[in-house]
């Protein structure tokens, strides 16, 4: 029987030499694999109150939308700067080669809402941490951060857990 990890393609030397890119588009393209990932991402939160799912651009939108649908809750997009049409708040974060900014509409989350943060991959944790900060600035309570893939050698899980967050991932790839 296949696991979620079996549906993930590895592309060597993308986007730079020496990087082993973990491509979830092959997971999304396979109906059984995609369904398995969504179901397994939901499992740790069975019976918990979740008011909305927040997804990090871009693959977090695909997963987050599917999870929000299954939970019958709303979806909150956390987008790159300049992509949302309404009034936003923003959070800068550090990338390997510079800095980026993520935004959310300033009325997307109300104080006290229970939020599940979702993305495809956890590497250094910078993008996820920026998303957490945005949600918390709007008064949301993060119940957990859920990912398909964890790259433990890059320290993202440790970073988020040091913030007191529950972190769940369906699979891990060492050495990346």
Lay out the sheet containing 88-95: strands in order across. 88-95, 98-105, 74-80, 52-56, 114-122, 141-150, 167-172
Active-site amino acid positions: 59, 96
Burial class of residue 176 (count of CB atoms within 10 Å of its CB; 0-12, 13-18, 19+): middle
For residue 121, give both structure tokens. Answer: 């991959």
Quote the distance between the C-alpha of residue 48 and its chain's center.
Answer: 19
């Amino acid at each position: 029987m296949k696991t979620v990890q079996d549906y993930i393609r590895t592309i060597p030397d993308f986007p730079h030499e020496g990087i082993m890119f973990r491509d979830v588009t092959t997971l999304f393209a396979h109906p059984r694999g995609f369904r398995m990932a969504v179901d397994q991402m939901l499992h740790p939160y069975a019976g918990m109150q979740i008011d909305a799912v927040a997804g990090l651009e871009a693959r977090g939108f695909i997963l987050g939308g599917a999870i929000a649908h299954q939970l019958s809750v709303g979806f909150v997009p956390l987008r790159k700067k300049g992509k949302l049409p309404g009034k936003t708040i923003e959070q800068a974060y550090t990338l390997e080669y510079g800095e980026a900014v993520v935004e959310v509409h300033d009325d997307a989350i109300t104080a006290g809402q229970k939020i599940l943060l979702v993305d495809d991959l956890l590497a250094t944790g910078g993008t996820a941490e920026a998303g957490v900060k945005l949600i918390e600035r709007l008064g949301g309570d993060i119940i957990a951060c859920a990912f398909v893939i964890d790259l433990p050698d890059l320290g993202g899980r440790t970073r988020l857990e040091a913030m007191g967050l529950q972190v769940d991932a369906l699979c891990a790839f060492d050495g990346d």
